[in-house]
């Protein structure tokens, strides 16, 4: 059975408000994701997911992949300046 919160609001109202806020946040994130995807497509064309996702396991492999990504990002930034 639902009661009241320490602030005098019944729990059902508090839960419903929390759900509403979470749904609004999800909608905002969803819209941002679509906007960013459209922007990325305009700037660089569509990429296949195999080019965007790499699964790395193991401490050494993760460290090497991180270093590679850092070097690539630095090189791309130098090209843009």
Provide the whole-model pTM: 0.44
Phi then psi dihedrals of residue 78, to 5 deg:
-65, -35
Q: What is the pLDDT of residues 22-52, one digit of tens each?
A: 999 999 998 998 888 888 778 776 556 556 6
- The Cα-based distances of 66 to 8, 48, 54, 79 in angstroms read 50, 21, 11, 20
Phi then psi dihedrals of residue 26, to 5 deg:
-60, -45
- The Cα-based distances of 78 to 29, 43, 73, 75 in angstroms read 31, 18, 9, 5
Is the pLDDT at 19 greater than 80? The verdict is yes
Helices (H), ranges, the chain: 11-44, 59-80
């Amino acid at each position: 059975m639902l009661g009241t919160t320490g602030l005098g609001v019944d729990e059902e109202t508090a839960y419903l408000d929390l759900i509403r806020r979470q749904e609004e946040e999800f909608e905002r994130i969803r819209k941002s994701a679509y906007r960013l995807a459209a922007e990325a497509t305009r700037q660089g064309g569509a990429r296949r997911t195999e080019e965007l996702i790499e699964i790395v396991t193991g401490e050494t492999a993760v460290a090497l992949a991180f270093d590679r990504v850092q070097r690539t990002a630095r090189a791309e930034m130098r090209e843009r300046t």
